[in-house]
Structure 1
Amino acid sequence: MAVQPEGTPCWVDATFTDLEAAKSFYADLLGWTYGESSPEYGDYTQAYAGGKAVAALAPPMPGQESPSAWCLYFASADAAATADRIRDAGGQVDMGPMEVGDFGTMLIARDPSGVSFGVWQAGTHEGFERRGESGSFAWAEAFTREPEETDAFFPAVFRYKTQRMEDDAVDFKLFKLGDDTVLGRMKMGEEFPPEMPPYINVYFAVEDCDAAVEKATQRGGQLHFGPMDTPFGRFAALTDPQGAAFSVIDLTTTRGDMPKLSDVS
Structure 2
Amino acid sequence: MLFRDEPWPEGTPSWVDLMVPDQAKAVAFYRGLLGWDVRPGGEDTGSYGMATLRGRPVAGIGQAPPGQELPAVWTTYLSVSDADKTVAAIGEAGGQVVVPVTTVPEQGRLAIAVDPGGATFGLWEPGGHQGTQVMAGPGALAWNECMSRDYPVAEAFYERVFGYGFEDETSGDSTYKALLASGRPVGAIGALPAEVPSSWRVYFWVADADASAARAVELGGRILSEPYDSPEGRHVLLADDQGVPFFVIAPTARSGKPRGWDD
Distance 1:39 1:247 in 2: 31
Amino acid at match of 1:125: H
**Following superposition of structure 1 onto structure 2, how do residues 8-157 of structure 1 map, counting pairs within 5 Å?**
8-157=12-161
> Does structure 2 conserve the Cα–Cα contact (< 8 Å) formed by 1:223 and 1:237?
yes
Distance 2:54 2:167 in 1: 34
Q: Decide which moves more: 175-184 or 72-81.
A: 175-184
Q: Decide which moves more: 107-116 or 212-221.
A: 212-221
Amino acid at match of 1:10: S
Superposition misfits of 4+ residues, deviation over 3 angstroms: none
The match for 1:205 is 205
> Does structure 2 conserve the Cα–Cα contact (< 8 Å) formed by 1:142 and 1:199?
yes
> Does structure 1 conserve the Cα–Cα contact (< 8 Å) formed by 2:170 and 2:177?
no
Gapped regions of structure 2 (runs ≥ 5) = 256-263
Structure 1 residue 185: deviation in Å? 1.5
Q: Could you give the per-residue CA deviations for residues 88-143 of structure 1, whole angstroms, max 9, x where no partner exists?
A: 11100000201011110000001001100000001101111102321010001112
> Does structure 1 conserve the Cα–Cα contact (< 8 Å) formed by 2:79 and 2:124?
yes
> Does structure 2 conserve the Cα–Cα contact (< 8 Å) formed by 1:231 and 1:254?
no
Gapped regions of structure 1 (runs ≥ 5) = 257-265
**Matched-pair identity in %:** 35
> Does structure 1 conserve the Cα–Cα contact (< 8 Å) formed by 2:203 and 2:247?
yes
What is the TM-score normalised by the length of structure 1? 0.90
> Does structure 1 conserve the Cα–Cα contact (< 8 Å) formed by 2:174 and 2:192?
no
Aligned with residue 177 of structure 2, among 151, 162, 173: 173
> Does structure 2 conserve the Cα–Cα contact (< 8 Å) formed by 1:222 and 1:238?
yes
Distance 1:30 1:16 in 2: 17
SS of 1:20 mapped into structure 2? helix
Work out whether 1:229 is the aligned partner of 2:241.
no
What is the TM-score normalised by the length of structure 2? 0.91
Distance 1:166 1:114 in 2: 22
> Does structure 1 conserve the Cα–Cα contact (< 8 Å) formed by 2:75 and 2:200?
yes
The match for 1:243 is 243
Q: CA 1:175 to 1:32, structure 2 compared with 1: closer, same or farther past 3 Å?
A: same
Distance 1:216 1:76 in 2: 33
Q: Could you give the per-residue CA deviations for residues 60-115 of structure 1, whole angstroms, max 9, x where no partner exists?
A: 12442111100010111100000011111110000020101111000000100110
Amino acid at match of 2:8: Q
> Does structure 2 conserve the Cα–Cα contact (< 8 Å) formed by 1:67 and 1:243?
no
Distance 2:123 2:131 in 1: 11
> Does structure 2 conserve the Cα–Cα contact (< 8 Å) formed by 1:98 and 1:106?
yes
How many residue pairs match? The answer is 252
> Does structure 2 conserve the Cα–Cα contact (< 8 Å) formed by 1:32 and 1:47?
yes
The match for 2:254 is 255
